[in-house]
Each structure stands twice: as structure tokens, then as C-alpha cells.
Amino acid sequence: MRLGNTIKFAVTLILLAVSIYLIHPLDKTIKLGLDLQGGTHVVLKLKETAETPINQEAMNRVIEVIERRVNELGVTEPIVQSQGKDQVIVELPGVKDSKQALDTIGKTALLEFKEVNPDGSLGDTVLTGASLKKAQVGYDQYQQPIISIEFDSKGAKEFGKITEKSVGKPLAIVLDNKVLSAPIVQEPITGGKAQITGNRSVEEAQKIALLLRAGALPVPVDIAEIRTVGPTLGADSIAKSVNAGIVGTILVVIFMLLVYRLPGLVANFTLIFYILLVLASMVLLKATLTLPGLAGLILSIGMAVDTNILIFERFKEETRAGKSLRPALDAGFERAFATVIDSHTTTFITALILFWLGTGTIKGFAVTLMLGIVINLFTAITVTKNILDLIVGVDAIRKIKVLWAVRREEKC
């Protein structure tokens, strides 16, 4: 029995060491949400059109195209993922790059070649950008930026036919219903290469080229939500939360020491262990720590000792009923167990629902809350019991009643 306890304690110490190893240094190991590291969170809502319904295929295509666009912009570690049936979340860490990204994200980027009617209005679409192979920025002889495009073999053939038919006539190049240029076709173009000229800046030309390279969205999208947090506020939020966490933990630690003395000290040790384990499992699960998540973690510090309070109160009660220390301790753990499971399950149910229904940063809150509840069962019950078993085995400590916060007349 005693040996078993020693082994258990050794396992605890190893776990503690592993946790510290995993989370050190914390600012490098834990993944921070955009609200803490700064960045832009965008929610796009897909809009159904007469031709294209919103289904998995359209969704996949939207995600693919947007991923290509943000990647081409060189945004570090972007996240593009679907949310529900018709929404796409785009997360862009860092503010500098995201400004540019926001300009391109919501664009449909549908490139069309249209005939021009004699009255100057646009006629039928004769070709789209779907068969485009390349698009890049170059310069014409006047050093004006132009966009060179190149079709794949199928597109090249069609483009050849079209240009053959419209020699001497203008052909409009239209992007998202905006005419980029409408040059007059001089001769049939069979090589599949063309240039989009027009008076625009290099940045503008680069943006268009990028959009053309990344491809068009199958359906138009609306920007439903943009949240930008600057790096200053993110850092400030972390500093303030850490402060609050330290103050809160100190209050809890003092309370536990004053009320429960030695068992309280053990509970405080397991509380610190609890915090380290939650952080370590977040690192392992690659979970993102958001501001609500951080608040959830701090909140859970207060909730974590609940388990110990339940156990220790029960323990005190048992000593009052005349039990001596060791059996009272066993009874305390045993009897409080059902209570702890029942009371934690309800919080877990609500956290689970939050995780399932919540969006964005709130999901982060639910994650820390759920992790906290599960880990708390381990630290507050298994680890606390193990250490107290070890201590209660030392006669000299067991006999000092004042350490156990039990009244003098009680047997020890």
C-alpha cells in the first residue's frame, strides 16, 4: 500500500515535469487566438445564385480559392474553414498583411470576355476565366503595368476562334461586371496569350493578377463579420488576464490554507498542478487559447478547488462524528465522489453545448472549461488523495492536530 502510494507520487512528479517541459516557454508553445495575438477574423456568407446552389461542392471550391488567395499574399498561418452550411471563416494573424487580404477575399473574381454591341453596351459572354492558366504583371513599352494572361490549350483554341470572329471589333475584358479594358482585336490570337492594358497602378494590377491566378468563386460572398484586434490590445489583454489570474489564484490559495491548513496546502499544490496540466493538454491538443478561453481558465481555478472543499468538508464532518483521521480521510474521499461526479457533469453538459453551438472565441471558452473539469477530477481526487495518504502515514505529522484543522477533542 505504502509502496503503491510512493509509485503513484512518482508518477505525479513525472507528469508534472513533462507538463512543464511541454509548456515551456509558454509564449512559444501555446497557440494564441487572434484576439490575443492580434489579427483579423472574417466571416463570409455564401450567396446562392440562380445557376449555382450552395452545396458541399461550392463550399469546397470557395475554401480552395480563398486559401489560394491568402497564401499568395503571404499571410502567415492563415486558417480558412467552413462554419455551418453557408459560412466560411477566414483567420488572418497579424494586421499588416490582412489589410491587403481583406481587399481580395470578398471578391468573386469572375473574369469574362464579352462582345461589345455597336451602341457600346456589353453583349454576350463568349469566354470566362475558367480556362486561364497564368496571370502576371508586366510592363508595356510605356512602362505602364499590364496583366499578361495565358490560357490552357482548350481555352487557347476557343480564344483563337473568338478573336478570329471579332477582328476589327472591340472585345471587352470584364472582371466582376467591371470592364478592365476593351481593346479592338487586330488579328486572331492563336497562341493563347493576351494582355490586359489600362491605366492602373502596379498594386491594382497585382491584385487583379492574383485574383485571376487564384480563380473565381463559384458563388458571390458577403462579408458578414470582420473583427480586427491590434497587437497592442492583444498583448494588453494577455497581461491583464495573467494579472487577474495571479490575484485570483493567490486569493484561492490563501483561503484554502486558512480554512483547511495542511490538506489545504496539498489542495493548493494540486491546484498549481491542475493549471500546468490544463496548459500542457492545450499544447498537446493544439487547442487555441482565446481571451474567453483565458477567462474560462481563470474561472476554472476557482471551480477546481470546489472538489477539494467538498472532500475536506466531508472529512471534517467524519472526524466530528468520531472517526479518527485516516478513516475519516478515506470516508471523505469516498462519500464526496458521487457528489463531485454529479455536480461536475452538469457543468460539463453546458460546456459541451457551448462548444457545439458556440462560434469563434466562445468555442475556446468551452474547450478550457471542459478540459478543466476532466483534469480537475484527476488532480483534485487522485493526486490529492495520494499525497494525503502519504502524509497521513507519517505519525509525527498525523499527530499535530492543528495541521488538520480538526478540533482538539477529536481522536487523531
Partner 1 sequence: MLDIVGKRNLWFTLSGITILVGLISLFTFGLNLGIDFTGGTIYELKFSQPVAVDQVRQSLAEMDIENPVIQKTGDDIIFIRTKIMDKDEQQQLIDQLSQKLSKAEVLRIEMVGPVIGEQLTRQALLALAVASLGIILYVSFRFEFKFAIAAILAVLHDALIVLGIFSILQREIDASFVAAILTIVGYSLTDTIVIFDRIRENIRLGKKESFTDLVNRSIYQSLTRSIYTPLTVLFTLVALYFFGGSTINNFALAMIIGVVSGTYSSIFNASPVVVAWKELEARKA
Nearer residue to partner 1 within complex by CB, 151 or 260: 260
Among positions 58-97, residues that touch partner 1 (CB under 8 A) are 95
Q: How near is the Cβ of 309 to partner 1 at its closest, in Å?
A: 5
124 interacts with partner 1 by CB under 8 A: no
Nearer residue to partner 1 within complex by CB, 188 or 358: 358
Q: How near is the Cβ of 263 to partner 1 at its closest, in Å?
A: 13
Q: How near is the Cβ of 50 to partner 1 at its closest, in Å?
A: 21
Among positions 372-401, residues that touch partner 1 (CB under 8 A) are none
166 interacts with partner 1 by CB under 8 A: no
11 interacts with partner 1 by CB under 8 A: no
Q: Could you tell me the sign of the dihedral formed by the alpha carbons of 100, 103, 109, 113, in that order?
A: negative
Nearer residue to partner 1 within complex by CB, 147 or 295: 295
Among 237, 281, 379, 386, binds partner 1 (CB under 8 A): 237
Q: How near is the Cβ of 61 to partner 1 at its closest, in Å?
A: 21
> Secondary structure of the chain in the HEC alphabet?
CHHHHHHHHHHHHHHHHHHHHHHCCHHHHCEECHHHHCEEEEEEEECCCCCCCCCHHHHHHHHHHHHHHHHHHCCCCCEEEEECCCEEEEEEECHHHHHHHHHHHCCCCCEEEEEECCCCCEEEEEEEHHHEEEEEEEECCCCCEEEEEEECHHHHHHHHHHHHHCCCCEEEEEECCEEEECCECCCCCCCCEEEECCCCCHHHHHHHHHHHHHCCCCCCEEEEEEEEECHHHHHHHHHHHHHHHHHHHHHHHHHHHHHHHHHHHHHHHHHHHHHHHHHHHHHHCCCEECHHHHHHHHHHHHHHHHHHHHHHHHHHHHHHCCCCHHHHHHHHHHHHHHHHHHHHHHHHHHHHHHHHHCCCHHHHHHHHHHHHHHHHHHHHHHHHHHHHHHHHCCHHHHCCHHHHCCCCCCCC
359 neighbors 45 (Cβ within 8 angstroms):
no
Binding string, residues 30-49; x marks residues near partner 1 by CB under 8 A:
-----x-------x-x----
Q: How near is the Cβ of 259 to partner 1 at its closest, in Å?
A: 7
Q: What is the CA radius of gyration of the chain?
A: 32
Q: Please identify, among the stretches 123-131, 147-155, 238-246, 323-331, the one whose residues bind partner 1 according to the rule CB under 8 A.
A: 238-246
Binding string, residues 205-224; x marks residues near partner 1 by CB under 8 A:
-----------------xxx
Q: Please identify, among the stretches 2-10, 118-126, 295-303, 382-390, the one whose residues bind partner 1 according to the rule CB under 8 A.
A: 295-303
Q: How near is the Cβ of 20 to partner 1 at its closest, in Å?
A: 23
121 interacts with partner 1 by CB under 8 A: no
304 neighbors 48 (Cβ within 8 angstroms):
no
Among positions 353-372, residues that touch partner 1 (CB under 8 A) are 353-354, 357-362, 365-366, 369
331 interacts with partner 1 by CB under 8 A: no
Q: How near is the Cβ of 35 to partner 1 at its closest, in Å?
A: 8
Q: Please identify, among the stretches 112-120, 234-242, 273-281, 402-410, the one whose residues bind partner 1 according to the rule CB under 8 A.
A: 234-242
Q: Please identify, among the stretches 139-147, 168-176, 200-208, 287-295, the one whose residues bind partner 1 according to the rule CB under 8 A.
A: 287-295
Query: Rounded to 5 degrees, what angle do the CA atoms 371, 375, 381 make?
Result: 150
Among 180, 259, 403, 405, binds partner 1 (CB under 8 A): 259
Q: How near is the Cβ of 379 to partner 1 at its closest, in Å?
A: 15
Nearer residue to partner 1 within complex by CB, 18 or 299: 299
320 interacts with partner 1 by CB under 8 A: no
